[in-house]
Structure 1
Amino acid sequence: MELEEPVTGGPCWTELGTSDLEAAERFYTELFGWRLETDPRQEAGGYTVAHLGDAAVAALAPLYQESQPVAWNVSFAVRDAESAVAAVRAAGGTVVLEPTDVFDIGRFAVVFDPGGAAFQLWQARAFPGAGLFNAPGALGWVELLTRAPERAKSFYTAVFGWGVRTGGHYTWWDVDDADFGGMITMDDKFPPEVPSHWLPYFAVEDVDDTARIATGAGGSLLMEPTTVPEGPRIAVLRDPRGAVFGVRQVDTEG
């Protein structure tokens, strides 16, 4: 990812909603070496922020309603949550949660793109988002998996103004020419019950070693460690409660 900090229109945060917060804390701490801090306020509902050094890099949280799946969620930075929600609707998306204040740190909303992929909008106040990208244990890439790639291109360029570049079977997203993620078209290899979704990739020093640690800690491999042609080494993993995420070899040049 060629972004070094959150920028408007780019990914700014990722958080896990899980059915077993304590188990998730053990798993991801072993995997990424995170230092965890749980918000003590009752109204925070156990929201736990992961740190690398002093930098906040991700969060873990319990499920807040029965219909919420165990999954990683990706947030994108916006200047104004209300305007962003209006743009989502105008482009054919669906709003699940209207803009809501989170204490004094910002406002967020939850939406779906036209293909059914969920993501979050974040209007920063006191908290801009992740304090570190691309370092081992921090967010290093985001990827949309969708069955409606052309609709996705139209939607995200309308909502965020992203640049789009396609080569072979892959599409790259950028903000002001800085690549931060991509898109894969879901084909018959994906079970029909798997919805379109955003997948966060965490940077790691050694993809193979991370995969070994993950499986040893009760996780599983969805995609074996693979070196992308002219790209990084990656793997896709599932944690013990079913949340899917990727890992990506550290690339200091983006």
Structure 2
Amino acid sequence: MYTPDRDAAMAFYTPLFGWRAVDLGQGAGTMLQVPGYGDHLAATVDPGFHERQAAAPPGFADAIGGLVVIGAGEPPRWHVTFTVADRDESAATAERLGATVVARPDTTWTRDALVRDPQGAEFTVSQFTPPEW
């Protein structure tokens, strides 16, 4: 979520969805969490979820999104990120289907691709790649 007013956004979404906002510090933005989400995934569809998340920041298993504060004049908006098993394979499939890969940034925790679909909508595909510690 991109918003000029973090507090107003959370005043709306916290009672609506039960989200919790956790500041990541060092200008890294805000993690949006659903308490217990990681436990739900581990108990239902992904038994190895917590083991793969062991090196992630505290609370990352419960993360469902992020909040970025934007400047005046920039429109508030949502940007959807889809978790994928393989960023490059997903990007190649999107291109084969008519999309344009705009960027392929790597972060400490992910390999991402910003994709623009044939109609012009943008989204990100993200492969979780935690550091080896």
TM over 0.5: yes
Unpaired segments ≥5 residues, structure 1:
1-15, 127-254
User: Matched residues in 2 for 1:66 and 1:123: separation?
Assistant: 32
Classify 1:54/1:81 alpha carbon distance in 2 versus 1 (closer, same or farther; 3 Å). closer
Moved over 3 A (4+): 63-69
Counterpart residue type for residue 101 of structure 1: D
Counterpart residue type for residue 32 of structure 2: V
How do 1:1-254 and structure 2 match up within 5 A? Answer: 16-42=1-27, 44=28, 46-53=29-36, 55=38, 56-62=62-68, 69-96=75-102, 98-103=103-108, 105-126=109-130
Over the matched positions of the two proteins, sequence identity in percent amounts to 34
Q: CA RMSD in A?
A: 2.7
Classify 1:78/1:65 alpha carbon distance in 2 versus 1 (closer, same or farther; 3 Å). farther
Q: What TM-score do you get using the length of structure 2 for normalisation?
A: 0.63
User: Max radius of gyration: which structure?
Assistant: 1
What's the offset of the Cα at 1:122? Answer: 1.0
Given that residues 79 and 123 in structure 2 are in contact (C-alpha distance below 8 angstroms), is that contact kept between their aligned partners in structure 1?
yes
Deviations 1:174-193, CA, capped at 9 Å, x for gaps:
xxxxxxxxxxxxxxxxxxxx
Q: Which residue of 1 aligns with 2:41?
A: none
Counterpart residue type for residue 25 of structure 1: M
> Number of paired residues?
107
Q: Greater strand percent: which structure? A: 1
What's the offset of the Cα at 1:77? Answer: 2.7
User: Matched residues in 2 for 1:65 and 1:100: separation?
Assistant: 23
Counterpart residue type for residue 125 of structure 2: L
Unpaired segments ≥5 residues, structure 2:
39-61
Q: Which residue of 1 aligns with 2:52?
A: none
User: Matched residues in 2 for 1:85 and 1:76: separation?
Assistant: 12
SS in 2 for 1:52: coil
Q: What TM-score do you get using the length of structure 1 for normalisation?
A: 0.36
Given that residues 36 and 51 in structure 1 are in contact (C-alpha distance below 8 angstroms), is that contact kept between their aligned partners in structure 2?
no
